[in-house]
């Protein structure tokens, strides 16, 4: 077992499980639902309580590290994008949570100089914890996992995508050739939690994933999981994924990656090719 980042990994798992306990206890009993950027961009008191729990633990154990959280609770130390930065999504899949759909997760990642090196995605409703450390492989509840290497073509692939919560970002979604993609793949899902969808690609439950206009805390942990499980992650033009303010991502088992990008027909893809 790789020794690098083990202290950070243990802390991330502990924090994710503590935050997950709040989600599990409140999924049918939360009291406050508010909106952020628009009516479909939801936040609850559980999002904020879970983030406060996670940030507090990180700052207690790694006070010099930066923390970038979706809800930005607490006074975060350090400089985001510096030597060590944590990316925290305390409740990925808030809309599912609000409507009582049991598909949501806690996502915690650590990046070194902007490159994710550690990822934890915890599903408290199934008691599944996906973990990965750079160059150390990916695991589900301590058992090794790998992407599905039995599927090498799009017509056999089960794909997943999502839709931007902020309606201002939805025009970017239409830059993808959905009609062609739907006609060529085996089938398509939209499950509502990018972090869990990436974890499912890493564990072979899904063949590929893409989405536009995500935030770095949505994808940082899942990016490590997929790559360490033997898959491929890029932006929609095929470039190395960067944790910028807005993220367009494709993640696959690796075997279908180029075919998926070609089928999506992202405007920049052919220019770069």
Binding-site residue numbers are: 70, 89, 91-92, 218
Q: What angle do CA 254, 260, 266 make, to 5 degrees?
A: 125
Feature table: binding site for Mg(2+): 70, 89, 91-92, 218
Q: Give the other-Cβ count within 10 Å of 26's Cβ.
A: 17
Classify residue 136 by its DSSP letter.
S
With a CB cutoff of 8 Å and minimum separation 6, the contacts of 29 are: none
How buried is 160 (Cβ within 10 angstroms: 0-12 exposed, 13-18 middle, 19+ buried)? buried
Q: What is the CA radius of gyration of the chain?
A: 17
Classify residue 189 by its DSSP letter.
E
Copy the structure tokens of residue 112.
């070194």
Classify residue 33 by its DSSP letter.
E
> b/e for 35-44, b at 16 or more Cβ within 10 A?
eeeeeebbbb
**DSSP codes joined into one string, 54-117:** HHHHHHHH-TTSEEEESS--S---S-TTSSEEEEEEEEETHHHHHHT-S--EEEEEEEETTEEE
> b/e for 176-215, b at 16 or more Cβ within 10 A?
beeeebeebbeeeeebbbbbbbbbbbbbbebbbbbbbbbb
Q: How far apart are the first and last CA of the chain?
A: 38
β-strand 33-35 against 158-161: which pairing, if any? Answer: unpaired
């Amino acid at each position: 077992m790789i020794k690098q980042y083990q202290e950070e990994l243990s802390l991330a798992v502990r924090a994710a499980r503590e935050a997950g306990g709040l989600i599990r206890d409140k999924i049918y009993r939360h009291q406050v639902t508010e909106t952020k950027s628009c009516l479909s961009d939801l936040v609850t008191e559980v999002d904020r309580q879970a983030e406060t729990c996670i940030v507090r633990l990180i700052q207690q154990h790694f006070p010099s590290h930066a923390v970038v959280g979706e809800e930005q609770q607490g006074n975060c130390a350090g400089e985001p994008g510096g030597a060590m930065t944590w990316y925290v999504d305390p409740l990925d899949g808030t809309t599912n949570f609000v409507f009582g759909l049991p598909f949501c997760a806690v996502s915690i990642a650590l990046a070194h100089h902007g490159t994710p090196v550690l990822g934890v995605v915890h599903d408290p409703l199934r008691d599944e914890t996906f973990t990965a450390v750079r160059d150390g492989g990916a695991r589900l509840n301590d058992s090794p996992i790998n992407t599905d290497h039995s599927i090498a073509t799009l017509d056999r692939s089960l794909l997943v995508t999502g839709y931007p919560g902020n309606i201002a970002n939805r025009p970017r979604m239409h830059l993808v050739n959905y009609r062609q993609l739907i006609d060529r793949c085996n089938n398509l899902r939209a499950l509502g939690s990018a972090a869990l969808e990436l974890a499912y690609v890493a564990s072979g439950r899904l063949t590929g994933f893409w989405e536009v206009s995500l935030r770095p805390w949505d994808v940082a942990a899942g990016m490590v999981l997929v790559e360490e499980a033997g898959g491929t992650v890029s932006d929609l033009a095929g470039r190395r994924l960067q944790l910028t303010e807005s993220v367009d991502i494709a993640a696959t088992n690796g075997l279908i990656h180029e075919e998926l990008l070609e089928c999506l027909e992202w405007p920049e893809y052919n220019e770069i090719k």
